Chains A and B, each alone.
Chain A
Amino acid sequence: MPINYYIFLSVALFCIGVTGVLTRRNAIIIFMCVELMLNSVNLLLVAFSKMHHLALIGKHADAGTNAQIFVFFIMVVAAAEVSVGLAIIVMMYRNTHSVDVNFLNRLKH
């Protein structure tokens, strides 16, 4: 399959994520949309990895595999972010009994 399909799919997923972050008001949904952004990048990286691998396989056998390693690092970092982020959302829920980010306007004035 041409690489363009993967690029379009990833960018579409990424844009869905960005739209969600910008329009939704529920902290957990915003958080899910951020995860969607990260995972669309994972998909794109794997697709590019395969592309480079096929193009450069004659030169060295492990060409293009570094992006797949990158994907693992993104997963690890995303997991760390989930643990911190959910803790922050729980902390917010304890204080306001809501996860709506519209409640968060105490800093505006």
Chain B
Amino acid sequence: MNALIISAVWGIVMMFSGIFTKNKSTVRSIAIAGILILIVANSLDLQGGYHINIDTKNQLDFGTFGLLFNSIAFICTLIYFLLSGKDIENVGVNVAEYFALIFFVLCGVSIATSFNTLLMLFLGIEIISIPLYILTGSNKRNLKSTEASLKYFLMGAFSTGIMLLGIAFLYGASTTGTFFIEEIGIGKSSLSPLFIVGLLLLLISMSFKVSAAPFHFWTPDVYDGAPTVFTSFMATIVKSALFIAFIRLFHNSFGEIQPKWQIFVAIIIAATLFIGNLTAVFQQSVKRMLAYSSIAQAGFMLFAILTINPVAQDGILLYATAYSLATIGIFAILVKMKDRSFEGFNGLAKHHPVLAATNTIFLLSLSGIPLTAGFFAKYYMLMAALKMGQFLWLVVFAVLCAAVSIYYYFRVIQAMYFKDGEPQELQVSSSFKILLIIVAAIIILLGIFPQLLLDKMNILYM
């Protein structure tokens, strides 16, 4: 509860900071201070110290899994602020408001990772979404940004409508008239039609939110049109948080009737992996390629929903960390580039060796090459699926798709190292480079010793 309340309050603090100071770097410092406070507050939550508490009638349940994800999300946001904070200032004039909206999103993240009723699920997802619509359209003079924001808004509101209908059906099907996620699936040995339709509607709407195929069509346009700094935030922290909400919902409510809906999730995974990877191959712009790659990565993260077991729960946290760190790093470099196509990366290694080297590590991690965190993340996901025994075909298919993904990630590496290009004047400070090296080091460290992260979780689970 500490982090939840502080993030909401800090959003308001950020709004006022925009009135009292016009100095952009002061605003950024306040935001970084806020995220540091959030990290401390969340680790207090993890140790059971509820200093600020509100009686929510058990509607929010702060379990270890959700809180651990919160700390990953907050740390990733800190890295994001440090790497891309300066670029947020370049989007427009309302810098304080952008930071405020990001804090409101984080408030939604902490609700979405610890909800205990469908009401809180709905509220958490909406509190995440509504600030994001604004952030997407924050570049007001740019028609692409406006278009992306309108598309995101209409699609988001549409999928919210579907989710609400699903919730209403589940409520009608429950015998005791409850929204608590643990009680909704109880006593469903014989499934009523209302319950089945509700479950499927929830599955569809959550697939919309995490951009799984065939409900992914808004993602490339929105990620492409939004200002690049905010795409970075949307594609990483927000997406992982929605996955945690998805898992929490399906684990607690529908875990017992898992065999009945598993096949739908398997089909969604296969479609997501296929469409995401295949379309990414044909992209000319790196930003759009990353949008499709985020769809493809979502396919891997969906394995955690297919196989609800402890391995998958460890795996999704590792995956969220590896994916978020690598993608934030790539986007931080991409924001600095003038030309966002593959050709723009030509000859980067010669002129900016540090950027090229760290970018290579991030791309290797995304494609799942051993010795990077991305390898173990994918490994845990596939392990979880193999442990179940069924769906061997899906695991084989996922490995094949990962092989396809190497092609488009390596195109960037190839452009950086093996092609000649004009020297580019990039505004890169030395602190930015040091941070990139630190992020790359964390990725390699997690790739060699994934236990560093996982053991910490297991100790806390005990």
Cβ B158 vs Cβ A37 within 8 A: yes
Task: List residues 139-173 of chain B with CB under 8 A from any CB of chain A.
Answer: 140, 143-144, 146-151, 153-154, 157-158, 160-162, 164-165, 167-169, 171-172
The CA of A73 and the CA of B168, in the complex, are separated in Å by: 13
The CA of A91 and the CA of B144, in the complex, are separated in Å by: 12
Q: Which residues of B contact A70 (CB under 8 A)?
A: 119, 122, 167, 171, 179
B225 within 8 A of A: yes
The answer, among A44, A48, A80, A92, for a CB contact under 8 Å with B177, is A48
Cβ A51 vs Cβ B147 within 8 A: no
Cβ B172 vs Cβ A3 within 8 A: yes
Cβ A84 vs Cβ B134 within 8 A: yes
Closest to A63 in B: B177
Cβ A37 vs Cβ B150 within 8 A: no
B 127-139 binary contact with A (CB < 8 Å = 1; else 0): 0001001100100
A 1-44 binary contact with B (CB < 8 Å = 1; else 0): 00100010010001001100100000100110010011011001
Kindly provide the distance from the CB of A23 to the nearest chain B CB, expressed in whole angstroms: 13
Q: Which of B123, B146, B169, B179 has the most CB of A within 10 A?
A: B146
Q: Which residues of A contact B123 (CB under 8 A)?
A: 73, 77
> How extensive is the interface on chain B, given as a class?
35 or more
A61 within 8 A of B: no
The answer, among A40, A51, A85, A87, for a CB contact under 8 Å with B172, is A51
The CA of A30 and the CA of B157, in the complex, are separated in Å by: 10
B224 within 8 A of A: yes
Cβ B157 vs Cβ A81 within 8 A: yes
B126 within 8 A of A: yes
Q: Which of A21, A80, A84 has the most CB of B within 10 A?
A: A84
The answer, among B122, B144, B154, B172, for a CB contact under 8 Å with A31, is B154
Interface of chain B: mostly helix, strand, loop or mixed: helix
Q: Which residues of B contact A3 (CB under 8 A)?
A: 172
Kindly provide the distance from the CB of B1 to the nearest chain A CB, expressed in whole angstroms: 19
Kindly provide the distance from the CB of B158 to the nearest chain A CB, expressed in whole angstroms: 5
Cβ A21 vs Cβ B122 within 8 A: no
> How extensive is the interface on chain A, given as a class?
35 or more
Q: Which residues of B contact A101 (CB under 8 A)?
A: 150, 154
Q: Which residues of A contact B158 (CB under 8 A)?
A: 18, 21, 34, 37
Q: Which residues of B contact A108 (CB under 8 A)?
A: 221
Cβ B161 vs Cβ A17 within 8 A: yes
Task: List residues 352-390 of chain B with CB under 8 A from any CB of chain A.
Answer: none
A 89-109 binary contact with B (CB < 8 Å = 1; else 0): 101100110000100101110
Q: Which residues of B contact A30 (CB under 8 A)?
A: 154
B414 within 8 A of A: no
B252 within 8 A of A: no
Q: Which residues of B contact A66 (CB under 8 A)?
A: 119, 177-179
Closest to B136 in A: A88
The CA of A35 and the CA of B263, in the complex, are separated in Å by: 32
The CA of A92 and the CA of B395, in the complex, are separated in Å by: 44
Kindly provide the distance from the CB of B147 to the nearest chain A CB, expressed in whole angstroms: 4
The CA of A37 and the CA of B123, in the complex, are separated in Å by: 17
Q: Which of B123, B161, B162, B169 has the most CB of A within 10 A?
A: B161
By a beta-carbon cutoff of 8 Å, the part of chain B in contact with chain A is 119, 122-123, 126, 130, 133-134, 137, 140, 143-144, 146-151, 153-154, 157-158, 160-162, 164-165, 167-169, 171-172, 176-179, 194, 220-221, 224-225
10 more contacts with CB within 8 A, not counting A7-B172, A107-B224, are A14-B165, A18-B161, A38-B164, A55-B177, A77-B126, A81-B126, A91-B140, A92-B147, A95-B143, A101-B150
Residue contacts A-B, CB under 8 angstroms, 9 given: A18-B158, A41-B167, A44-B168, A48-B168, A74-B122, A85-B154, A88-B150, A106-B144, A107-B151
By Cβ-Cβ distance, the 9 closest A-B pairs, closest first, are: A52-B177, A37-B161, A48-B172, A41-B164, A107-B221, A64-B177, A104-B147, A34-B157, A44-B168
